[in-house]
Chains A and B, each alone.
Chain A
Amino acid sequence: MKKILIVGATSAMAEACARLWAQQGDHLFLAARNAQQLQSLAADLQTRGATKVGTRVFDANQHDQHAALLAEATQTLGGLDTVLIAHGTLTDQDHAQHDVPYALAEIGTNGLSVVALLTLVANQLEQQGRGAIAVISSVAGDRGRQSNYVYGSAKAMVSAFTSGLRQRLAKKGVHVVTVKPGFVDTPMTAHLPKGPLWAKPEQVAKDISQAIDKGRRIVYTPGFWQLIMLIIKTIPEFVFIKLKL
């Protein structure tokens, strides 16, 4: 039985992870913005077998609430083994190009709030000398592309930050996983036609939970994204600027 804090618990990927853990009988603490959604998620996870479920309405952009969340989760769970950070927003690239406050707010939600929260989580786990942190970044953070570079740069920040954190905490018995999903089929993307590159949240969740259990460091999910991103990263800049990606 593990004691797991999930931030952004109502996101499709986080919810799929939570179901896997509930079936294993873990203790879960869920943080998300929407109180009604949190409540129905908690009831679902309890029904599926979670041995304890705590919740807190939480906005990651209110950085002064981070310490309180961590304290409440630790107390409710009776300790802390694993933290999954999964909150985020889908940035409208076109909007961000014409609206500076919006662009910065998106960077704030998808980048800065993760940095702020991770700093506290890292210190607490470092002190106890064990635990795992999984953070949902994105393949979009591997190379800025014209179609989503505002979102991508926030995720690049998360990828770089977790890379350094992993190195620092590896010596302290704390494991850090950077998760890089590709396209995930969620209620938010229902209206889009799906090609073979799209993955179900359940597949992604299996990859995340296995990465935590097996101590993997950087996980592309599904795995074929590692190859795709390798190719995209190797394209020379003079060719890249001519592409439509």
Chain B
Amino acid sequence: MATQAFTSWGRVFRPDQQVLGMPSRHASLPLPADDAATVLPHGNGRSYGDSNLNPGGALVLGRQLDRFIAFDQATGLITCEAGVLLSEILRLIVPQGWFLPVTPGTQFVTVGGAIANDVHGKNHHLVGSFGNHVTQLELLRSDGSRRVCSPTQDADWFAATVGGLGLTGMITWAQIQLRRIANPYLQTESIRFRSLEEFFELSQASEADYEYTVSWIDCAFAGKRLGRGLFNRANHAPAVMNPALAAKLPSAIDESSRRVPFTPPLSLINTLSLKAFNLAYFNRQQGDRVQALQHYRPFFYPLDALLEWNRIYGPKGFYQYQCVVPPEQALPVTRQLLQTIVDSGMGSFLAVLKQFGTPPSRGMLSFPMPGTTLALDFPNQGERLHRLFAQLDGIVQAAGGRLYPAKDGRMGAQIFKSGHPQWSAFSQFVDPRFSSGFWRRVMEST
């Protein structure tokens, strides 16, 4: 059987795998001819590390299951196959006055991927993660069995599959409860903050009144500037908009996007460009507080406007490090993480900080939990970077935090197991024919 080299969003790994197609959701699950070989559903390839790769095994292209099944415009219940992209759902539902209940920072992920990673968005503090809005899904196992699961029906299978990294079987279709909107716009506010204390105060003050909150944080500079950044908060615009803001709306929505045309021989992200970018970004707005009316696309998906932006990190690719730490020690721990990064001299181009809320995640392996999450991108600098990651792991683990498997290509078994204490219960639900590069790594005995 022919194999193909497949990579993930971080472009660090490029293993050979068999690639299997699935022509219909009613079809049987395609399996590799070799009985010992494993399989893994692969959606749109937006997970960063090796949780969507299966080196030496096979991938099933989940993207091929991309039919809608039903959409009730009165109730906002949408049912579709698991390979439908969030962008396709938005194109259908926004004109009808509906929006995704939760959306990650890119619209180019499949519904199956959004469930398997229990993705979160800027509104986690109020509504939880993606899995909290999934009303049903169908799970197809390698033994040919099919199970429709929900929070009340086969609830254990549902809990294993939400956030289950595609390991419990193939999600063939799912049903999602959408939320109402009056129009495609958001009323946004961007506030400059100069310290982590200020960030936590702003978060606290915004939680109740703003559906969406997220911050960009500067991690290129040490000393007094450590922990400064921009706090963004927003709500969907009401039917009757603030006329002062509405006047500034562009008459047409720009749907165009650019593409990074090729992979540069070296990463374009280095110490120099990093400092320049962080400085410019922090100072991009004139006042300390800027209000605007924004279309949902630039607000939720600023990076989707630059297709294949992951190429800017050059041929060696990049890693993302995303952790969450519990609320009790969030401030000192976040400061310690930032200080460690600045000290390493390997600042992150895009650092994102967000307070998760209390809505409990439904998945056994779900990443979101109450606390503060920090996400950072690093160009792949080999050993040096892995030493930094080991230091960060130590801080996260001591604080009782966890790392996000969807972003990960390197965490060890120890931090995985301590961060996801339900891993052992979860492993009972893993399909015997399913596996991934990630799963084999974190299951290694230490």
Q: Is residue A156 contacting chain B, with contact meaning CB distance below 8 A?
A: no
Interface residue stretch chosen among A36-44, A61-69, A115-123: A36-44
The reply to whether B64 and A190 form a contact with Cβ atoms under 8 Å apart is yes
Residue numbers in A under 8 Å from B205 (CB-CB)? none
Using CB atoms, name the residue of chain A closest to B71. A47
Bound-state Cα–Cα, A191 to B32, Å: 11
**With known contacts A37-B24, A190-B20, A44–B4 Cβ distance under 8 A:** no
Dominant SS at the A interface? helix
User: Of the candidates B4, B26, B70, which one forms a contact with A43 in the assembled complex, judged by CB atoms under 8 Å apart?
Assistant: B70
Residue numbers in B under 8 Å from A192 (CB-CB)? 2
For chain B, residues 78 to 117, give those with C-beta under 8 angstroms from any C-beta of chain A.
Answer: 80, 92
Bound-state Cα–Cα, A224 to B357, Å: 53
Q: Is residue B22 contacting chain A, with contact meaning CB distance below 8 A?
A: yes
The reply to whether A43 and B68 form a contact with Cβ atoms under 8 Å apart is yes
**With known contacts A47-B92, A48-B92, A40–B23 Cβ distance under 8 A:** no
Q: Is residue B46 contacting chain A, with contact meaning CB distance below 8 A?
A: no
Give the size category of B's interface with A: 20 to 34
In the assembled complex, how far is the CB of residue B178 from the closest CB belonging to chain A, in whole angstroms?
13
The reply to whether B25 and A191 form a contact with Cβ atoms under 8 Å apart is no
**With known contacts A40-B24, A187-B22, A47–B68 Cβ distance under 8 A:** yes
The reply to whether A36 and B71 form a contact with Cβ atoms under 8 Å apart is no
Residue numbers in B under 8 Å from A43 (CB-CB)? 67-70
Bound-state Cα–Cα, A194 to B3, Å: 11
Bound-state Cα–Cα, A95 to B22, Å: 24
User: Of the candidates A40, A47, A187, A193, which one forms a contact with B4 in the assembled complex, judged by CB atoms under 8 Å apart?
Assistant: A193
Give the size category of A's interface with B: 10 to 19
User: Of the candidates B64, B67, B69, B71, which one forms a contact with A187 in the assembled complex, judged by CB atoms under 8 Å apart?
Assistant: B64
The reply to whether A191 and B67 form a contact with Cβ atoms under 8 Å apart is no
Q: Is residue A100 contacting chain B, with contact meaning CB distance below 8 A?
A: no
The reply to whether A40 and B69 form a contact with Cβ atoms under 8 Å apart is yes
The reply to whether B68 and A191 form a contact with Cβ atoms under 8 Å apart is no
Q: Is residue A188 contacting chain B, with contact meaning CB distance below 8 A?
A: yes
Residue numbers in A under 8 Å from B4 (CB-CB)? 193-194
User: Of the candidates B20, B22, B25, B61, which one forms a contact with A40 in the assembled complex, judged by CB atoms under 8 Å apart?
Assistant: B25
Bound-state Cα–Cα, A186 to B376, Å: 37
The reply to whether B67 and A41 form a contact with Cβ atoms under 8 Å apart is yes
The reply to whether B68 and A187 form a contact with Cβ atoms under 8 Å apart is no
User: Of the candidates B18, B19, B61, B69, which one forms a contact with A44 in the assembled complex, judged by CB atoms under 8 Å apart?
Assistant: B69
The reply to whether B23 and A188 form a contact with Cβ atoms under 8 Å apart is yes
Residue numbers in A under 8 Å from B69 (CB-CB)? 40, 43-44, 47
In the assembled complex, how far is the CB of residue A148 from the closest CB belonging to chain B, in whole angstroms?
18
The reply to whether B25 and A187 form a contact with Cβ atoms under 8 Å apart is no
The reply to whether B71 and A191 form a contact with Cβ atoms under 8 Å apart is no
Q: Is residue B21 contacting chain A, with contact meaning CB distance below 8 A?
A: yes
The reply to whether A191 and B92 form a contact with Cβ atoms under 8 Å apart is no
Using CB atoms, name the residue of chain A closest to B3. A193
Residue numbers in A under 8 Å from B64 (CB-CB)? 187, 190
The 0/1 profile, CB within 8 Å of B marked 1, for residues 32-54 of chain A is 00001100110110011100000
User: Of the candidates A37, A44, A193, which one forms a contact with B68 in the assembled complex, judged by CB atoms under 8 Å apart?
Assistant: A44
In the assembled complex, how far is the CB of residue B57 from the closest CB belonging to chain A, in whole angstroms?
14
Q: Is residue B244 contacting chain A, with contact meaning CB distance below 8 A?
A: no
Q: Is residue B1 contacting chain A, with contact meaning CB distance below 8 A?
A: yes
The reply to whether B18 and A191 form a contact with Cβ atoms under 8 Å apart is yes
In the assembled complex, how far is the CB of residue A28 from the closest CB belonging to chain B, in whole angstroms?
14
The reply to whether A191 and B19 form a contact with Cβ atoms under 8 Å apart is yes
In the assembled complex, how far is the CB of residue A45 from the closest CB belonging to chain B, in whole angstroms?
9
In the assembled complex, how far is the CB of residue A13 from the closest CB belonging to chain B, in whole angstroms?
14
The 0/1 profile, CB within 8 Å of A marked 1, for residues 53-81 of chain B is 00000000100100111110000000010
In the assembled complex, how far is the CB of residue B381 from the closest CB belonging to chain A, in whole angstroms?
31
Most buried by B among A37, A41, A47, A194: A47
Using CB atoms, name the residue of chain A closest to B18. A191
The reply to whether A47 and B70 form a contact with Cβ atoms under 8 Å apart is yes
Residue numbers in B under 8 Å from A37 (CB-CB)? 24, 26
Residue numbers in A under 8 Å from B26 (CB-CB)? 36-37, 40
Residue numbers in B under 8 Å from A41 (CB-CB)? 67
The reply to whether A187 and B92 form a contact with Cβ atoms under 8 Å apart is no
Bound-state Cα–Cα, A159 to B251, Å: 47
User: Of the candidates B20, B70, B80, which one forms a contact with A191 in the assembled complex, judged by CB atoms under 8 Å apart?
Assistant: B20
Q: List 15 A-B contacts (CB under 8 A).
A: A36-B26, A37-B24, A40-B67, A47-B68, A47-B69, A49-B92, A190-B21, A190-B22, A190-B61, A190-B64, A191-B1, A191-B2, A191-B19, A191-B21, A193-B4
- Kindly list 6 other residue pairs between chains A and B, CB separation below 8 angstroms, not including A187-B21, A189-B21, A190-B19: A40-B67, A41-B67, A43-B68, A47-B70, A191-B19, A192-B2
9 nearest A-B residue pairs (beta carbon):
A190-B21, A47-B68, A44-B67, A187-B23, A187-B21, A44-B68, A193-B4, A47-B71, A187-B64
